[in-house]
Amino acid sequence: MDAGRLVKVGDDRWAKYRLPAAEEAKALASEKPAAVPTAAEKTEEEAVPLSPASKEIRTYLSQSVNARKPVGYNREFLDSYRPNETFYLSEEQRAHLAQVGKPNFADQAAGTYAKQILKRLLIDLSWNSSRLEGNTYSLLDTTRLIELGEAAEGRDRLEAQMIVNHKDAIEFLVNEAEGIGFNRYTILNLHGILAQNLLPDPGAPGRLRRMGVGIGKSTFHPLELPQLIEECFNHLLDTATAIQDPFEQALFAMVQLPYLQPFDDVNKRVSRLSANIPFIKRNLSPLSFIDVPRALYTDALLGVYKLNKVDLLSDVFIWAYERSAARYTAVRQSVGEPDPFRFKHKAALRQIVGEVVRGRMDRKAAAAYVAAWVGKNDIPEAEREKFRDVAEAELVSLHEGNFARYQIRPSEFEAWQQVWKESM
């Protein structure tokens, strides 16, 4: 269409394409010159340090699409990878990423770090991953959509749906941190969430591909036989699961999932979010693709599709992870160190504070209720006294600006406050 060889009629999933008339084709060709990167785009791309091998990949991809030889899916590229023997990242690179990605706090339950910075992560990763797909929402538009549910005026409905799907998918990964992994449950459901309301076939989200697909701006042709797609998908998951290093595991997913194209669409989005699985599970800094130039990321994937070379994608991955880790270190410092005890008993504290407020208990009744509640519920004996103290401190510090986190309604809080103040 950009070259003037087709004319688009209609929008979104109802679009149709037809051959242009001779005069129309000539007009389109004159109106649509070859895309040339802007100065800003060049500056962004130059910020990412590239190895000589990466520069060679970009030189090859600078040729016109017609000059490139068509290639099909090379199964050997997947089959030849041996977990913990084959590496896309060098030992030095893996050690460097481990250094910059490890937050300075004691080991805690899977997903702890992601939950601490979840508000910022939802916006960053949703926006940047959508931006890499060509979504035109700004960062402010994305923030308003995620925090307030307000879609930007004059924008395509599908763009808002893409961002909301990202938010839901990230929350799925973080909330299910203990159970996620490179298994069918996680990856199929991740696709199901990311693709919701975006595919023509309502049964396609969360289902492996049953048809052939094409790759834009590429002469790469993915697998078409459903049986082979299923077989390679299972092998890909088994291989990813066996990889011990979290950074190698993340990059493997970013390389092999888009290359296989196991779903009708939304494959790259699945790969970017699934790359965060090892980081969420091991409380490492997440990867949100901050400032990653879209053209460079596209070239990195084309290098995989066309040449089975990962050098450019590795360079982009390392640079992006360094920036993400620096950002979330700063975010975490701004919110302060969380209290591990309060975090461990978050659900119990929410329950007991909510029950005291909804029961309109005064101070004396609340103290007796907390003591009785601790004895009846699953609080370790060695922690019961501290739990009582923390629960009472939470009640004392409750005010109009923080009661919502306990899932308390304004009317319930006002009624309880009257009783609580009278008992002072």
State residue 35's pLDDT score.
47
- The distance in angstroms from the start CA to the end CA of the chain is 74
Which SS3 state, helix, strand or coil, does residue 9 take? Answer: strand
Residue 270: phi and psi, rounded to 5, are: -60, -40
Pairing of β 71-72 and β 7-9:
unpaired
Report CA dihedral (64, 65, 70, 73) to the nearest 10 degrees: 120
State residue 406's pLDDT score.
82
Distance CA 368, CA 359 (A): 13
Which helix (H) or strand (E) segment holds residue 17: the answer is: strand 16-18
Distance CA 133, CA 128 (A): 9
Assigned token pair, 93 = 């690179």
**pTM score, two decimals?**
0.73
State residue 346's pLDDT score.
84
| Tokens 């599709």, located at residue | 305
Per-residue pLDDT of the chain (424 residues; tens, 9 = 90+): 777 778 777 666 667 777 876 444 444 444 434 445 555 555 666 789 999 999 999 999 988 877 778 899 999 999 999 999 999 999 999 999 999 998 765 567 888 889 889 999 999 999 999 999 999 999 999 999 999 899 999 889 999 999 999 999 999 999 999 999 999 999 999 999 999 999 999 999 999 998 888 776 678 999 999 999 999 999 999 999 999 999 999 999 999 999 999 999 999 999 999 999 999 999 999 999 999 999 999 999 999 999 999 999 999 999 999 999 999 988 776 655 556 777 788 888 889 999 999 999 998 898 889 888 888 887 888 888 888 888 888 888 888 877 877 888 889 989 998 888 887 6
State residue 6's pLDDT score.
84
State residue 70's pLDDT score.
87
For the chain, the domains span 1-33, 48-335, 340-422
Instruction: Classify burial at 401, counting beta carbons within 10 Å of its beta carbon; exposed 0-12, middle 13-18, buried 19 or more.
Output: exposed
State residue 27's pLDDT score.
44
Q: Name 278's Cβ contacts closer than 8 Å, sequence gap at least 6.
A: 246, 247, 249, 250, 284
Cβ atoms within 10 A of the Cβ of 308, count?
A: 15
As a residue count, the chain comes to 424
Angle between helix 311-335 and 52-61 (nearest 10): 110
Q: Read out DSSP for 210-253?
A: -S----TT--EE----HHHHHHHHHHHHHHHHH--SHHHHHHHH
What's the fold here for domain 48-335? Fic-like fold (1.10.3290)
State residue 410's pLDDT score.
87
**Do residues 171 and 190 make contact, with C-beta atoms less than 8 angstroms apart?**
no
State residue 33's pLDDT score.
41
State residue 30's pLDDT score.
41
